[in-house]
Copies of this chain bind each other. A is one copy, B any other.
Amino acid sequence: MQFGHFDDEAREYVITTPHTPYPWINYLGAQDFFGLVSHTGGGYSFYRDAKLRRLTRYRYNNVPVDDGGRYFSINDGGDVWSPGFRPYKTELDSFETRHGMGYTRITGSRNGLEASVLLFVPVDVNAEIHRVELTNTSDAPKSFSLFSFLEFNLWNAEDDQTNYQRNLSIGEVEVVDGAIYHKTEYRERRDHYAVYGVNAEIAGFDTDRDTFLGFGNGFDEAAVPHAGKAGDSIASGWYPIASHQLEVTLEPGESKAFTFVLGYLENPRDDKWEAPGVIRKDGARELLAKFATDEQTLAEFEKLNAYWDGLLGSYTVESGHEKLDRMVNIWNQYQCMVTYNMSRSASFFETGMGRGMGFRDSSQDLLGFVHLVPERARERIIDIASTQFEDGSAYHQYQPLTKRGNHTLGSGFNDDPLWLILGVAAYVKETGDFAILDEMVPFDNDDSKAASLMEHLKRSFDHPLNNRGPHGLPLIGRADWNDCLNLNCFSTEPGESFQTTGNRTGGVAESIFIAGMFAAIGPDYAALARRRGDDAEAERAEAAIEEMKAAVIEHGWDGEWFLRAYDYFGNKVGSAENPEGQIWIEPQGFCIMGGIGVEEGLAEKALDAVEERLGTDHGIVLLNPAYTEYHVELGEVTSYPPGYKENAGIFCHNNPWVIIAETVVGRSEQAWDHYKRITPAYREEISEVHRLEPYVYAQMIAGKDAVRHGEAKNSWLTGTASWNFVTVSQYLLGVRADYDGLVVDPCIGAEVSEYTVRRVIRGATYVITVTNSGGKGATLTVNGEAVEGSLVPYAAPGSVVEVTATV
């Protein structure tokens, strides 16, 4: 069942009913000001930090679900409704929400009146725009009232939902020239405020929630819109809100548009008052002046669209397969951008109050983002590397505002170091900016301990080598990529962290997955060393990689697939000899990506076992059989009910590793098949099962052991986005940046028989036309000339290179 459809021309997903199986959201903003908005107008806004600068209030896990947001209410002769359906749930004559690139347009109509709300964050502006267009589609004049509404958060989102004994006494606002200023705590240590204004004369306003809603009422019973008359209330404590009343008259066929602006402003600390107790408002006045006319608003919207045209132009495909094209050209890249901006902070599953930036997360997010805005990727690399320790290990997370490592979580996730190499290599391949390797970067944010980025990569490379267990395989530490495989923790108390509580320093628990990473990512370190002229270092690295691969073959192969790990006691994890958790997905993907067992024929054997034991119609589960009991020696993975999350859920993040592995062994049909099972556009028709947005990946789909097999959770903020984009763009479509040129090496199902990739990199444009009959190993021509191998050398900036590839 579908609840909408794609409009690829407009780069939009069009939701045609308010009754989706979950709130389907979009993100506004790409720089400092951000908003989350659901298809019925729910959500919230923040400046930079979703915890510390939350502008508007939103309630997670609410009843009703997704109640509260930016609401526009119409009182048309006593009939009260909202174009977004919620909160009133008044039946509409038409409803449509279009989620686009950085904007959302919600349109509803009733009784001959159409209301369309366009929400976006303009480029280079710290504000969210709500442009409300009202059209009289009837044949008689119409006069009605329009009410805006949003509820302010008292800035710190965590404090806002815990510290009521203080917070209910501190709310303050000002209302000047029809604009509503939120200034809670401005009297003391804040130098920032919010404004909500509109480019029209207002008939009234409200800033006190109890006045607007009526005490004890739900949003659906809001008193002021039902009365058709604002209370002109000034909040004093309790719950400050912002609402404007506009009186509108429209002739038949006439349209009017109003621009509401929710802005965030800062003042100099020593010049923050206009008069005693009165905020200095220069900034707000300038901001509102930018949106004084509808033409100005529409021009800003055009700028936003142009911004996205630019971003999405670096990699496009035309294949005639619309689902493939829309994922590659629009939604997967869009999700990569959102993931890069948000890390794992704010979604409808992440409250914005929790995690900082992950060392591993951000390094992986880079892979899907580096071609969009390379200069921001460069900055992120330096930030990440600055939280590394001298021994190559790293803070697992760091705080985005301070860029300091998170002490609570600390270090000891032994996969972390290698991801830095992968991210830096991707950046250098994209840009050719080898100079970044000479940048002096601190260890542990201590400038006195700075070393070149290349030295950081050396420490990264050496960390797994220096921390090996009895079988010569890398020690796992607190966990590797799978945060829930905790072989040294042995947690017995509820509420304890599975990762950081009572860690043992056994020196025994080893990860075959990290060994696979070492084999897959290590060669990039060797390549960078060689390109810097350090052949000895490159050879040392290559020898170490070969040694590791041999260790995996000897101690990491279970007979039909790769083992997952050795536990604290030296017992096998992920072996046919285990009663549960016999086979795990991660080492199968990464060992083969590292070339382990490919020549020996182990790779295909492992991939066959994956399909046989882990494959489902909804994707590949993480392990099998699911654990039915908690195993203190395995940790969090066994804490989940069977089929959910790491305990045999379908983790869409690691499915791509298997897909890439299938391309490594040249099995294009299997790779293509795996891709389609988890990719949202291909799941759109089963939205009633999948439940989440059909335009972005979710972290997890419930596995075959779950009661709700096929149901997705945790959409939007997941490394799934970048890994799937890497997979489809670089391995299936087969166009990937290398140090000296583009590799063109398609391996995609024969179903995709012809396609053209347009790739802009290092200033040149490559038009790559592929004729495909499945399998692998293309024959190339470059500008009409046949070439050997799969490399298309980089051309001069400005040039256009025509490539053909025949598989």
Inter-chain contact A354/B163, CB cutoff 8 Å: yes
Q: Which residues of B contact A706 (CB under 8 A)?
A: 236
Interface pair A277/B165, CB less than 8 Å apart: no
Instruction: List the B residue with the shortest CB-CB distance to A350.
Output: B165
Is there contact, CB below 8 Å, between A350 and B714? no
Which residues of A in the span 644-674 have a Cβ within 8 Å of any Cβ on B?
Answer: 644-645, 649
Candidates B52, B164, B351; contact of A164 at CB < 8 Å? B351
Q: Is the CB of A713 within 8 A of B169?
A: yes
What is the chain B residue whose CB lies nearest that of A354? Answer: B162
Give A46-63 as 1s and 0s: 1 = Cβ < 8 Å from B's Cβ atoms: 000000100000011111
If A164-B351, A707-B236 touch, does A64 touch B189 (CB 8 Å cutoff)? no
CB distance from A567 to the nearest CB of B (A): 17
A94-102, A490-498, A724-732: which one contacts chain B? A490-498
* Smallest beta-carbon distance A250→chain B, Å: 31
Q: Given the complex of chains A and B, what is the CA–CA distance between A702 and B239 in angstroms?
A: 16
Number of chain A interface residues as a range: 35 or more
List the B residue with the shortest CB-CB distance to A707: B236
Given A354-B162, A641-B237, decide whether A63 and B68 contact each other with a Cβ distance below 8 A: yes
Q: Which of B166, B349, B629, B708 interacts with A236 by CB under 8 Å?
A: B708
Asked whether A215 lies within 8 Å of B185 as measured between CB atoms, the reply is no
A31 CB within 8 Å of chain B: no
CB distance from A124 to the nearest CB of B (A): 25
- Report the separation of the CA atoms of residues A217 and B649 in the bound assembly, to the nearest whole angstrom: 29
Is residue A640 contacting chain B, with contact meaning CB distance below 8 A? yes
Q: How far is the CA of A629 from the CA of B713 in the complex (A)?
A: 48
Q: Which residue of B lies closest to A151 (CB)?
A: B63
A19 cross-chain contacts in B, Cβ below 8 A: 216
Question: In chain A between 380 and 438, which residues have their CB closer than 8 angstroms to a CB of chain B?
Answer: none
A638 CB to nearest B CB, Å: 7
The segment out of A133-141, A153-161, A777-785 that lies at the interface is: A153-161
Q: Tell which of B164, B187, B639, B699 touches A630, judged by Cβ atoms closer than 8 Å.
A: B187
Q: Report Cα–Cα, A492/B219, bound state, in Å.
A: 37
A233 nearest CB across to chain B (Å): 11
Q: Is the CB of B495 within 8 A of A64?
A: no
Give bound CA distance, A353 to B162, whole Å: 8
Q: Are B159 and A495 interface neighbours, CB within 8 A? A: yes
Asked if A628 is at the interface of the complex by the 8 Å CB criterion, the answer is yes
Please list the residues of chain A having a beta carbon within 8 angstroms of any beta carbon in chain B.
Answer: 19, 21, 52, 59-68, 155-156, 159, 161-166, 168-170, 172, 185, 187-190, 209, 213, 215-221, 234, 236-237, 239, 276-277, 349-351, 353-354, 491-496, 628-630, 638-641, 644-645, 649, 699-700, 702, 706-708, 713-714
- Can you sample 6 A-B contacts with CB below 8 Å? A63-B219, A64-B221, A166-B645, A170-B640, A170-B641, A187-B639
